[in-house]
Structure 1
Amino acid sequence: MSNWVRVAPLEEIPKLGARVVRSKEVDIGVFRLEDDRIYAVNNSCPHKGGPLSEGIVYGDRIACPLHSWKISLVDGKADEPDVGETACFNTKIEDGVVYLELKE
């Protein structure tokens, strides 16, 4: 079963910026790209656990603020030569509001 959680109005998430949603199990970074696409991934880098929401968004990737690992916001995988991945979460925009799907 899933549960859609309201994050924020789209306009309150800066382009190339993020918001953090805290669930019972994990913190989730919700990212807005330059073209207004929204992606959500586990906020912890697979390398050393850096807070991805504090990294730099470019294209559809995030650069971890600790060691500059590049993580795809589309599939959560690290760019080569690094190896690892983080969990991705479904998002949607309805009536200008961003929602995040949490599994129950």
Structure 2
Amino acid sequence: MSEWKKICLVTDIPVLGSRRVSRAKGIDVAVFRNDQDQVFALLDRCPHKGGPLSQGIVFGTSVACPLHNWTIGLADGCAKQPDEGCTPSFSCKVDAGQVFLDAAELATLALDLQPPRAGPGASSGALGDESFAVQAPQTA
């Protein structure tokens, strides 16, 4: 039997939008809500170049990656043809208006994947032999 972790209320996720869920280890998880109030959870990393899917455009049961417009299925994390590749999906459920993710999957799924080394999803970079942290610009 799965142990479920409460993430947020469905209404905390914008319609046709997403929220990011940070994990103790590994890449963040993006939780999406479509116009039918269905909720989906994927690793916040496009299978193409590692773009942040949480910044993509949600339509139907898909999200368009903000970097190269790849269409990723929200139910399975797989790119739509002609593109190929998948990003891990996380089990989620909605109960009484609250969104839950599988706690075991949050703790263990896709920990071996690294964030991209460049672009909007990057968290670190390198110049020659020197490594550095990357921080997203602050918005007002």
Q: TM-score range by the shorter chain?
A: over 0.9
Cross-structure match for 1:58: 59
Please, what is the CA RMSD of the aligned residues?
1.3
- The one-letter code of the counterpart of 1:22 is S
Q: For residues 73 and 37 of structure 1, what CA distance do their matches in structure 2 show?
A: 10
- The one-letter code of the counterpart of 2:32 is F
**Structure index of larger Rg:** 2
Quote how far apart the aligned CAs of 1:93 are.
1.1
Cross-structure match for 1:22: 22
Q: For residues 65 and 3 of structure 2, what CA distance do their matches in structure 1 show?
A: 28
What TM-score do you get using the length of structure 1 for normalisation?
0.93
Equivalent position SS for 1:53: helix
Q: For residues 102 and 47 of structure 1, what CA distance do their matches in structure 2 show?
A: 27
Q: For residues 45 and 88 of structure 1, what CA distance do their matches in structure 2 show?
A: 12
**Percent of aligned pairs with the same residue?**
47
Structure 2: any 5+ residue segments left out of the alignment?
108-140
Q: State yes or no: 1:90 paired with 2:122.
A: no
Q: State yes or no: 1:75 paired with 2:76.
A: yes
What TM-score do you get using the length of structure 2 for normalisation?
0.70
Q: For residues 38 and 10 of structure 1, what CA distance do their matches in structure 2 show?
A: 8
Equivalent position SS for 1:11: helix
Quote how far apart the aligned CAs of 1:2 are.
4.8
- How far does the alpha carbon of each residue in 1:49-89 deviate from its partner, in whole angstroms, 9 at most, with x for none? 00000000001000000000000001111011111000000
